[in-house]
Amino acid sequence: MRLIIKGLYLTTLLLGFVFLSQSMAAIDHDLICEGFGPQAPRNLQLGEGENTSVFGIAPPFTQMNLCNMHFHYNAEHKAKAFNIYAGKGDKNGVGGGFECKISKKLNYAESMPVPGNMCDGLIPGNTVEFHWVYSSCNVKPGVGLGACSTPTCVNPDLRVEAQVFTLVNDDGAPSFNQFTYDVENKSDYYQTKSLPLDTGQPIVFLGSVTGTDYDNQQCSNKQVTWSIRPLCEKLNIKSLGKWCQGNVFQEVKAHGVRMLVTDPALLSDID
């Protein structure tokens, strides 16, 4: 009799555990924001997504206006070349995200401190993810994402060209000056001087804006075509520091990161 009672007790405990696990899973799923399109950032190596919201791929960046430039401390997205997890970061997402593998393989000279304050505290070896934001509206480069729309063009196509950099103390490394807003450009669209060309075929997918205002419970309704280069590039930290000292975007330091979006219900398929 005691064995029967003990067996029933253990069975009850097991069923209770299973029920609790299923309930917690249901609660977690219920917490995911619903009714929104695909989100970002994401793991670029995982191409599957279950979000059924579809919108058109934005035109090439050469047929759109550069409206904003900004960067994040560490990579918001994850790829084979930048997959060293840095943690969640502080309450503003600063210090979270992912680091480049090459950031751990710098030589002595590349890692040496530089004089002065680089973009409010960046040092050689840091990883940053840079975003060049383009809009289909007739806009000029300006401050924040508000520069990408107008009262008469409130829902533009948005495209973000992105590159992850490792900052180095090396005057021979690529200079950020070549990637800045081209004030002398005479084409029909506002553009950068250039974008990185040697860091792999960009991975293009549908997503959203990023940043620390959003998470799995608070999604963004801004629809974005992402185009992210999958390889890291070294960047002369002093050139970025100089850009932070004065630019039309009023960017003076790196932003925090949004936590990686992993739930398939919030991700699009990558073709």
pLDDT of 271 reads 86
Q: Which amino acid is at 66?
A: L
User: Can you say whether the dihedral through the CA atoms of 142, 175, 165, 42 is positive or negative?
Assistant: positive
- Which regions in the chain score pLDDT beneath 70? 1-31
Q: Which of 50, 97, 64, 95 is nearest to 78 (CA)?
A: 97
pLDDT of 3 reads 42
Nearest-angstrom CA–CA distance, 94 and 90: 5
pLDDT of 186 reads 83
Burial environment of residue 267 by CB neighbours within 10 A (0 to 12, 13 to 18, 19 or more): buried
pLDDT of 30 reads 53
pTM (predicted TM-score): 0.88
Contact yes or no for 122/237 (Cβ under 8 A): yes
Q: Which CA distances in Å does 261 have to 74, 138, 196, 225?
A: 16, 31, 25, 16
pLDDT of 32 reads 87
Q: Which of 156, 102, 164, 101 is nearest to 132 (CA)?
A: 164
Where are any strands of DSSP class E within 102-202? 127-135, 158-168
